[in-house]
């Protein structure tokens, strides 16, 4: 079966859910506002420039999951979905997902953003298969640490390779849609890479390679 693989932030969404979650925690007064907002912006800028230390970022971004009670987190996430995510869900992205469904393709979202934030987004988009960075949970509470390999850069290749082996699929005829040069390791691996509203680095690379460049905005 042909796989249609999608990055999430700034690809299927008209924004970055990880960054917005950080800003939401600040707005709700649940983290040290000035410090958290400054660091959240720094990490986002480093991601966009290709300089992000993913483990340093995860130490920062997963800590509130450990510090806020799980029941409160779930209520927060529901409001976050309604107030921050639904407004940036792109109609053209839904049409693209439907296009691949109608062709009988198997849809999968792969994102560096953690599973807690992204699971309800994938569900809202009707995509059953999600590979995201997994926050560690012990005895029903998040620890603030990451479990396994983060789905970032080469980590996306590692995680999807493991997923393919587990599910008996392969990347023959696979598609991958992304906005970010951080996804070049996986884009280079699939037969059908597509740059979606790409950053400048990815746009130059895609044009040099003759890859399709599309917009969902």
Report the C-alpha gap between 92 and 103 in whole angstroms: 17
Starting at the edge strand found earlier in the chain, the sheet holding 192-196 runs: 141-147, 129-138, 106-114, 3-6, 175-178, 192-196, 213-214
Q: H or E stretch including 142? A: strand 141-147
Find all residues with CB under 8 Å of 185, minimum gap 6, and list them.
153, 154, 156, 157
Which residues are tagged catalytic? 7, 9
Report the C-alpha gap between 6 and 49 in whole angstroms: 21
Classify each residue of 161-188 as buried b or exposed e, where b means 16 or more C-beta atoms within 10 Å of its C-beta.
eeeeeeeebebeebbbbbbbbbbbebbe
């Amino acid at each position: 079966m042909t796989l249609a693989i999608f990055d999430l932030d700034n690809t299927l969404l008209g924004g970055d859910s990880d960054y917005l979650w950080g800003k939401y925690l600040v707005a709700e007064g649940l983290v040290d506002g000035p410090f958290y907002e400054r660091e959240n912006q720094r990490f986002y800028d480093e991601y966009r420039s290709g300089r992000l230390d993913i483990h340093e970022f995860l130490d920062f971004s997963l800590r509130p999951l450990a510090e806020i009670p799980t029941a409160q987190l779930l209520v927060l996430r529901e409001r976050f979905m309604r107030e921050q995510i639904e407004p940036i869900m792109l109609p053209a992205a839904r049409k693209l997902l439907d296009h691949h469904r109608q062709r009988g393709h198997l849809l999968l979202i792969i994102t560096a953003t953690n599973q807690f934030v992204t699971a309800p987004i994938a569900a809202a988009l009707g995509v059953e298969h999600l590979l995201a960075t997994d926050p560690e949970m012990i005895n029903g509470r998040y620890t603030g640490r990451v479990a396994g390999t983060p789905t970032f850069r080469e980590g996306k290749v590692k995680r999807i390779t493991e997923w393919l082996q587990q599910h008996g699929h392969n990347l023959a005829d696979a598609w991958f849609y992304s906005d970010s040069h951080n996804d070049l390791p996986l884009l280079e691996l699939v037969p059908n890479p597509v740059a979606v509203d790409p950053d400048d680095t990815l746009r130059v690379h895609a044009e040099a390679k003759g890859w399709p460049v599309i917009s969902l905005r």
